[in-house]
């Protein structure tokens, strides 16, 4: 009986993950694209170098976004983004640049890098500041990304998925209702990258 229950649980997790991936694929592949630069040459150059390294023209939008997400989760680590200090302004482009070049940063750096990459692809990605649940209870300040498509906000949080470890995708293209209690939204406000439209 125990093996039967374990098998059922594994199948449910596999099915749920597959269904979630299929929804994300549909949503992202049907989004209208309006490629946007950061407006800062030093950052745009690194963004395009990164995209040329991890994506190809024949990839779908979903595949490109997943490649960006995986790139940050697989090549970056949590720490102090000292390269952003090379710029007098502590804005999103400096944070994205520092993360893409140095591969070390905090939640805002992960999110700024993801926003810069996906905006270059053409998605309406922006950073959001608010509160996220702590593993030991309560909430803490945090910055994550949202991609707005057809009036729906989809959460992307590469720093949290990197922290969880593995290829979990718990916070990849999910709506807030899919992650109950994960984000405390009464204080949510835009972070470094504001909505494009």
| CA-closest candidate to residue 126, choices 146, 141, 109 | 146
Q: What is the tally of structural domains in the chain? A: 1
Position 166 pLDDT exceeds 70: no
Q: Provide the residue range defining the domain that includes 60.
A: 2-190
Does residue 41 lie in a domain region? yes
Does residue 48 lie in a domain region? yes
pLDDT of residue 7: 35
**d(Cα 135, Cα 130) in Å, to the nearest integer?**
16
Does residue 195 lie in a domain region? no
Q: Identify the H or E element spanning 129.
A: strand 125-133
State the average pLDDT over residues 143-161: 95
Does residue 21 lie in a domain region? yes
State the average pLDDT over residues 181-191: 69
Cα of first residue to Cα of last residue in the chain, in angstroms, is 54
Tell me which of 15 and 159 has the higher pLDDT. Answer: 159
Position 1 pLDDT exceeds 80: no
Q: Identify the H or E element spanning 35.
A: none
Q: Tokens representing 80? A: 């102090």
Does residue 177 lie in a domain region? yes
Task: Look up the CATH number of the domain holding residue 130.
Answer: 3.10.620
| CA-closest candidate to residue 76, choices 111, 45, 44 | 111
The predicted model scores a pTM of: 0.87
Residues 43-87 pLDDT 10s = 999 999 999 999 999 999 999 999 999 999 999 999 998 888 787
Residues 6-36 pLDDT 10s = 333 333 333 345 788 889 999 999 999 999 9
């Amino acid at each position: 009986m125990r093996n039967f229950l374990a098998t059922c649980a594994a199948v449910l997790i596999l099915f749920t993950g597959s269904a979630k991936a299929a929804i994300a694929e549909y949503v992202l592949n049907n989004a209208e694209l309006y490629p946007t630069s950061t407006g800062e040459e030093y950052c745009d150059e690194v963004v395009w170098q990164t995209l040329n390294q991890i994506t190809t023209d024949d990839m779908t939008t979903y595949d490109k976004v997943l490649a960006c997400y995986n790139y940050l989760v697989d090549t970056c680590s949590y720490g102090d983004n000292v390269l952003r200090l090379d710029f007098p302004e502590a804005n999103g482009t400096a944070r994205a640049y520092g993360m893409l070049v140095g591969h070390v940063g905090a939640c805002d750096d992960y999110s700024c890098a993801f926003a810069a990459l996906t905006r270059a692809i053409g998605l309406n990605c922006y950073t959001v500041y608010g509160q996220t649940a702590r593993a030991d209870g309560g909430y803490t300040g945090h910055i994550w990304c949202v991609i707005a498509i057809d009036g729906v906000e989809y959460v992307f949080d590469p720093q949290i998925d990197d922290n969880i470890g593995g290829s979990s995708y718990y916070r990849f293209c999910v709506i807030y209702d899919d992650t109950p209690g994960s984000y405390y939204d009464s204080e949510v406000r835009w972070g470094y990258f504001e909505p494009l439209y």
